[in-house]
Amino acid sequence: MTLEIRPLSPADIEPVVRLSLRAWAPAFASMEVQYGEMYRWLRPDGLAGQDQAVRDVLAADGAHTWVADYAGDQAVGFVSVQLVPDQSLGVIEMIAVDPEHQHCGVGASLTRFAVDWMREAGMHVAMVETGGDAGHAPARRLYESAGFRDISPARYWMSL
């Protein structure tokens, strides 16, 4: 089967939300362990709150979103990009791959597609953010293999 990357359609929204929640479940479980009691303050709705977060990103003004599928089937992954032209910056706002299709090149294809699109749009810098916990390790490996470098500042938290 050939992986196709195409613009998001309204029919893709529900499948994209569902695959995102499945994809991010391990990361949220990891964050809950790492953050301890702070988790309920930082993520009061936990993974359930991501449903609305995905919908917000998909509907955001200026969002450019594509889905990956196999020959027109249901989406198996997605990437959403925002451009910040005055900074020549392209930002991958969200990316997710259904767990059944992870480790098959879907995430790499979506990342490559997004970066190429940003370059063609005239951007000079691409950025993506992810967590530093164990649950986000696969995302960090994906971004590093695509050529991203971690230059973020350290962010410290304390439970009060």
Is the pLDDT confidence value at 72 over 80? Answer: no
| CATH no. for 3-145 | 3.40.630.30
- With cut-offs at 50, 70 and 90, classify the pLDDT of residue 118: very high
High-pLDDT (> 90) share of the chain, % = 65
Write the pLDDT tens digit of every residue in 75-87: 999 999 999 999 9
- 125 Cβ neighbours under 8 A, 6+ residues apart: 87, 88, 89, 90
For residue 73, what are the contacts with CB-CB under 8 A and spacing of at least 6?
A: none
CA–chain centroid gap for 55, Å, is 13
Backbone angles phi, psi at 82, to 5 degrees: -120, 145
Q: What is the value of pTM for the model shown?
A: 0.88
